[in-house]
């Protein structure tokens, strides 16, 4: 509720008292000052009035049957902190008056007292308005702090770790393409950080305050992808009960990330091409087209030149290519990546900090990671959970990698979780503690890795 300026012409007061005589005498006195006066004979009725109409000040009797003045005061402070409250106390009841002021009343008046009531009330309104301004400023400051902290967390999440020459080249290219509006096609093997790169480009671009909208072209069935991208008018297809706004429109002013763009059908490719050429889209079943201002970023792990992707669309998407190097071309980044993942996972799951020995890092660097950084990250998480010691050594790494095949045959995490749970007699908290993780994380892992399926990769 906005704080009203304390001009005497425009003040509205609510008088709360169970005695009609007192309400009447206050009403007369305040109307004489030119103020608007509302009345309520009880606490609950007073609160109802406050819900219905703007009030600057409440004069509140302390002793009332049912809800007493102190309780009403408390409710008002919680629900309408901008309203000034002045307690109306019986003769000599200074103690209660003091308690009321401590609980947030701006002032008190003695019943039947003389003196300039209007001056006291004006002062109370001013005092409350000043406090309210301070409170709002503090609230704004806290909100701004929260937003900044949130940004920082989000920023830390999308980070390309590694100081190898290959990563440095990627970072400087990202910085250069971010500044302009050019379309960027990001290529690279699975798990090399293509999505991270796309988000970083957007975050460093002039559009960063506008939405980043992602479409995974591989995950959406062919019949739905058009309405997903361009939206649909009501009744345009079975099941379209409402108008639907597509990703192009959602991304207006910002960026649209076409992930796994190589999986787009020829038909959809033709439509996307038109949208890019015209900067306009037409909703499925729609008559007129809508202008959109969208920066398109795309990513693929396919070789689009060899895969039969439309070359005219390819040229439009790939004004500038960004190539994410596979992990094997930047083995020197592995220790830094491991430290980063350990710190990240441990802070998120509040685990004891632990380190990988140099031998362990060397063993990791010697391994081939077809799933690149994602696979490394998953492996680090498993090692943190499954290795019992204070440090993770080469033997722990070896145990989770099979030298016989060279590929990452990981021990079944689901199996380990299940046997720990059995060993702890089904006590999930104890099983989580024995694995040095939190109960919550343990539940997540159980859901993600059922005992029967030993999954690798994602």
By CB under 6 A, name the binding residues for ligand ATP. 159-162, 188, 190-196, 301, 337, 373-374, 377
Cβ proximity to ligand ATP, 337 vs 446, nearer residue:
337
Cβ proximity to ligand ATP, 228 vs 375, nearer residue:
375
Q: Which does 301 bind (CB under 5 to 8 A by kind): ligand ATP, Mg ion, none?
A: ligand ATP
State the CB neighbour count (10 A cutoff) for residue 129.
Answer: 18
Cβ proximity to ligand ATP, 25 vs 301, nearer residue:
301
Cβ proximity to ligand ATP, 373 vs 431, nearer residue:
373
Cβ proximity to ligand ATP, 6 vs 408, nearer residue:
408
Residue 367: both structure tokens together:
């391994």
Closest CA to 5 of 56, 76, 65: 56
Closest CA to 252 of 284, 296, 298: 296
Cβ proximity to ligand ATP, 106 vs 217, nearer residue:
217
Cβ proximity to ligand ATP, 84 vs 376, nearer residue:
376
State the CB neighbour count (10 A cutoff) for residue 44.
Answer: 12
**Residue 82 C-beta: closest distance to ligand ATP, Å:** 45
**Residue 133 C-beta: closest distance to ligand ATP, Å:** 44
Cβ proximity to Mg ion, 39 vs 195, nearer residue:
195
Cβ contact 42:18 at 8 Å? yes
Distance from C-alpha of 261 to C-alpha of 257, rounded to nearest angstrom: 9
**Residue 186 C-beta: closest distance to ligand ATP, Å:** 8
Q: Which does 76 bind (CB under 5 to 8 A by kind): ligand ATP, Mg ion, none?
A: none
**Residue 302 C-beta: closest distance to ligand ATP, Å:** 10
**Residue 380 C-beta: closest distance to Mg ion, Å:** 19
Cβ proximity to ligand ATP, 244 vs 377, nearer residue:
377
Long-range contacts of 270-277 (CB under 8 A, 24+ apart): 270/310, 271/226, 271/229, 271/230, 272/229, 272/313, 273/310, 273/312, 273/313, 273/316, 275/229, 275/230, 275/248, 276/183, 276/313, 276/316, 276/317, 277/316
Closest CA to 297 of 193, 154, 177: 177
Provide the b/e sequence for 180-201 (b: ≥16 CB within 10 Å): eeebbbbbbbebbbbbbbbbbb
| C-alpha dist (Å) from residue 171 to 24, 196, 236, 317 | 76, 11, 44, 20
**Residue 299 C-beta: closest distance to ligand ATP, Å:** 6
Q: Which does 366 bind (CB under 5 to 8 A by kind): Mg ion, ligand ATP, none?
A: none
Q: Which does 196 bind (CB under 5 to 8 A by kind): Mg ion, ligand ATP, none?
A: ligand ATP
Please report, as residue ranges, which positions from 178 to 207 form the binding site for Mg ion (by CB under 5 A).
195
Q: Which does 16 bind (CB under 5 to 8 A by kind): Mg ion, ligand ATP, none?
A: none
Q: Which does 43 bind (CB under 5 to 8 A by kind): ligand ATP, Mg ion, none?
A: none
Report the residue number whose CB is nearest to Mg ion. Answer: 195
Cβ proximity to ligand ATP, 23 vs 194, nearer residue:
194
**Residue 174 C-beta: closest distance to ligand ATP, Å:** 11
Per DSSP, what are the bridge partners of residue 12?
36
Report the residue number whose CB is nearest to ligand ATP. Answer: 193
**Residue 188 C-beta: closest distance to ligand ATP, Å:** 6
Cβ proximity to ligand ATP, 161 vs 273, nearer residue:
161
Q: Which does 300 bind (CB under 5 to 8 A by kind): Mg ion, ligand ATP, none?
A: none
Q: Which does 190 bind (CB under 5 to 8 A by kind): Mg ion, ligand ATP, none?
A: ligand ATP
Q: Does 375 bind Mg ion (CB under 5 A)?
A: no
Angle at which helices 194-203 and 165-179 pack, to 10 degrees? 40
Q: Which does 420 bind (CB under 5 to 8 A by kind): ligand ATP, Mg ion, none?
A: none
Cβ contact 160:188 at 8 Å? no
Start-to-end Cα distance in the chain: 50
Q: Which does 408 bind (CB under 5 to 8 A by kind): Mg ion, ligand ATP, none?
A: none
Q: Which does 31 bind (CB under 5 to 8 A by kind): Mg ion, ligand ATP, none?
A: none
**Residue 364 C-beta: closest distance to ligand ATP, Å:** 15
Please report, as residue ranges, which positions from 31 to 50 form the binding site for Mg ion (by CB under 5 A).
none
Residue ranges in contact with Mg ion by CB under 5 A: 195
């Amino acid at each position: 509720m906005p704080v009203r300026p304390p001009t005497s012409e425009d003040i509205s007061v609510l008088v709360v008292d169970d005695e009609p005589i007192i309400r009447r005498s206050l009403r007369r006195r305040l109307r004489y000052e030119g103020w608007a006066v509302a009345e309520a004979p009880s606490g609950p009725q007073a609160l109802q009035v406050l819900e219905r109409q703007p009030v600057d000040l409440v004069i509140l009797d302390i002793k009332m049957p049912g809800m007493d003045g102190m309780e009403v005061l408390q409710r008002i402070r919680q629900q309408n902190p901008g309203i000034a409250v002045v307690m109306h106390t019986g003769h000599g009841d200074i103690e209660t008056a003091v308690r009321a002021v401590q609980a947030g009343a701006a002032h008190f008046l003695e019943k039947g007292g003389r003196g300039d009531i209007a001056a006291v009330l004006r002062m109370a309104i001013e005092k409350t308005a000043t406090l309210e301004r301070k409170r709002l400023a503090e609230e704004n400051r806290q909100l701004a702090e929260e937003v900044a902290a949130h940004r920082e967390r989000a920023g830390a999440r999308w980070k390309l770790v590694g100081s190898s020459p290959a990563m440095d080249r990627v970072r400087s290219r990202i910085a250069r393409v971010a500044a302009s509006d050019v379309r960027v096609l990001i290529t690279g093997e699975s798990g090399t950080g293509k999505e991270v790169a796309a988000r970083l480009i957007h975050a460093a671009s002039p559009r960063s305050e506008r939405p980043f909208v992602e479409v995974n072209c591989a995950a959406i069935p062919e019949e739905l992808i058009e309405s997903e991208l361009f939206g649909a008018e009501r009744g345009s297809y079975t099941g379209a009960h409402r108008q639907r706004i597509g990703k192009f429109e959602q991304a207006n002013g910002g960026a649209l990330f076409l992930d796994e763009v190589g999986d787009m059908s020829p038909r959809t490719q033709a439509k996307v091409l038109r949208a890019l050429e015209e900067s306009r889209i037409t909703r499925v079943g729609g008559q007129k087209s809508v202008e959109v201002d969208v920066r398109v970023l795309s990513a693929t792990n396919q070789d689009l030149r060899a895969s039969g992707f439309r070359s005219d669309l390819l040229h439009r998407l790939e004004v500038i290519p960004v190539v994410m190097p596979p992990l094997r071309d930047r083995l020197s980044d592995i220790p830094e990546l491991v430290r980063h993942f350990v710190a990240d996972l441990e802070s998120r799951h509040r685990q004891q900090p632990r380190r990988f020995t140099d031998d362990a890092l060397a063993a990791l660097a010697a391994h081939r990671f077809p799933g690149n950084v994602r696979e490394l990250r998953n492996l680090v998480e498993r090692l943190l959970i499954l290795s019992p010691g204070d440090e993770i050594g080469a033997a722990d790494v070896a145990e989770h990698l099979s030298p016989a095949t060279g590929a990452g045959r990981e021990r079944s995490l689901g199996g380990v979780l299940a046997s720990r749970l059995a060993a702890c007699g089904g006590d999930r908290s104890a099983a989580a503690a024995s694995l040095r993780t939190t109960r919550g994380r343990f539940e997540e892992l159980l859901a993600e890795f059922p005992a029967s399926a030993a999954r690798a990769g994602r």
